[in-house]
Structure 1
């Protein structure tokens, strides 16, 4: 095929692509225009959007909680099978403003404990069996108090709602921007074909498309960062509440250190492990938990303010900030 014939064929393809994309963009724009014309009054519209965002976030939270419990590789523990465990949880729940949770013991092959649900149904406290071998009784009680503090504050629900609302807002913005995204994509593809360079995406339309898509992605990242930041703050709050209820911040600090050390790889190829430490700022921002060093330092300061206490184990030589560890 001669160069002239190729340029002519490429131009035809470019025009066809432009027609397809612009048709799709006009269709979406007309649909949005119809929906906008049929909208209720602004206060009602805002109320409907808020209800939809809240409903979507709540449904996601409830389904996620049910899925976590359904996928557990463990069993619910009745009182007659572990009366001492139930007594410990009963005692802590009585000292806190929380309904007594259901207890599950699982084999996650890593020391871990986490709480799900909450509210009137009491939620659930999930405990990995290895914690009972790893921790002393006072340390187990401190971990239980920390998780019950999450149920007391209904933290899982609050964080899920914040995350869901943020994602809903970004989703609405994406729908509104969809006609522009389609039009810019079509213009970028068509101009590249017409210039005889189908793979070139350096033109002005392609740059505008990337800028708009990048802004929407930045909104999604911002919503995620806000939710993760709130999650880290709730971890600190749960540490404080556990120390208040048990009166023993040292026990929680020791438990956190023991769990950290148990999840640290010690084999010779540890640098290639999925548990490798990192100092990356991005991972710290995206982490749902603050570093163990930060948490232990806060608990140490609290213990010193209370008076002489037992020694808190020193941390590892490298920082643990931003590690994606087991949830505690």
Structure 2
């Protein structure tokens, strides 16, 4: 099912990219866009996660450089029955996190310094369990490729703004340029919204099962949402096509209209997690039969209130 969904997404985004090419340069522009899109799809499959991590200036850490944070991810990955992902830290005061990678064997998780400094170890565990749920559900490939192509569509639309509209190339003239500038990026945004909104609830639920405590994630979501409205994420503002990858919309501090939010309402997500507790879903067994999240990282954090990184 995930392979079919990914294939359909790639087909739609490729068609959208070709459509913008047609509006900018007619049939010739469409063919060039097709070649570019085909190459971009292939490149994105193998390299998109590296591009996203670079966009946000993420640095890789290990057990020696960030023992507590790394330990959280290691214990949760074991509980979920997942290979150990690469672990990154983003120097950014806005608390947030995302996962990326084409499959669980080539996955990476990233958390901001703001998240690691403002949240408790239990809340960090809830967030990272959510991100590992995306990895386990194989959402990361779809989300990462969408970010790459959506960014390319926006760039092509900007190109149309400055160079499109000529009668010799553009069959629809200035109207075609307007469509390329407005409609195509909006359509790409709608795809991002549809993907993120439908997958966030599933990742919340599976993440709560992985860490065993839905309220840890609920508390984290509440803190992240409040801080995201107050702290600007400069890298996310420069690369808005990656917004849907984060656990909370990193652009919400810029007066984003809820209608065009890439994420479901945080209050609804918290309510769903609270309903798991009321329904007795507080500690579903991890898929790998792990021993729970009461690991060495919790004990170390309680004994020594040192920095995460």
The answer for the alignment partner of 2:16 in structure 1 is none
Cα deviation digits, residues 119-144 of structure 1 (max 9, x gap): 15432221223333322222111111
Q: 1:261 aligns with which of 226, 247, 251?
A: 226
Task: State the distance in 1 between where 2:106 and 2:27 align.
Answer: 48
- The 3 A distance-change label for structure 1 pair 134 and 159 is closer
Q: Residues 238-249 of structure 1: matches in 2 within 5 Å? A: 238-249=203-214
- The 3 A distance-change label for structure 1 pair 182 and 129 is closer
- The 3 A distance-change label for structure 1 pair 265 and 122 is same
3-state SS in 2 of match to 1:100 = coil
The answer for the alignment partner of 2:88 in structure 1 is 104
* 2:126–2:216 contact (8 Å) kept in structure 1: yes
The answer for the alignment partner of 1:302 in structure 2 is 276
The answer for the alignment partner of 2:202 in structure 1 is 237
3-state SS in 1 of match to 2:224 = helix
Q: 1:221 aligns with which of 186, 193, 198?
A: 186
Q: Residues 10-21 of structure 1: matches in 2 within 5 Å? A: none
Task: State the distance in 1 between where 2:267 and 2:118 align.
Answer: 19
Q: Residues 1-328 of structure 1: matches in 2 within 5 Å? A: 53=37, 55-60=39-44, 62-70=46-54, 72-73=56-57, 75-119=59-103, 121-161=105-145, 182-183=166-167, 209=173, 211-214=175-178, 217-265=182-230, 276=253, 278=255, 283-306=257-280
* 2:77–2:84 contact (8 Å) kept in structure 1: yes
Aligned positions, number: 232
* 1:139–1:255 contact (8 Å) kept in structure 2: yes
* 1:98–1:122 contact (8 Å) kept in structure 2: no
**Deviation at residue 304 of structure 1 after TM alignment:** 2.0
3-state SS in 2 of match to 1:105 = strand
* 1:228–1:285 contact (8 Å) kept in structure 2: no
**Deviation at residue 276 of structure 1 after TM alignment:** 4.8
- Higher RCO (C-alpha 8 Å, min separation 6): 2
Task: State the distance in 1 between where 2:177 and 2:124 align.
Answer: 48
3-state SS in 2 of match to 1:125 = strand
* 2:85–2:104 contact (8 Å) kept in structure 1: no
Task: State the distance in 2 between where 1:124 and 1:68 align.
Answer: 11
**Deviation at residue 161 of structure 1 after TM alignment:** 4.0
* 1:77–1:103 contact (8 Å) kept in structure 2: yes
- The 3 A distance-change label for structure 1 pair 107 and 54 is same
Query: Could you state the TM-score of these two structures normalised by the residue count of structure 2?
Result: 0.58
Runs (5+) with no aligned partner, structure 1: 1-27, 36-48, 172-180, 187-204, 267-273, 310-328
* 2:60–2:89 contact (8 Å) kept in structure 1: yes
Cα root mean square deviation, aligned: 4.3
3-state SS in 2 of match to 1:127 = strand
Task: State the distance in 2 between where 1:257 and 1:30 align.
Answer: 49
- The 3 A distance-change label for structure 1 pair 55 and 121 is farther
3-state SS in 2 of match to 1:99 = coil
- The 3 A distance-change label for structure 1 pair 83 and 209 is closer
Task: State the distance in 1 between where 2:147 and 2:59 align.
Answer: 30
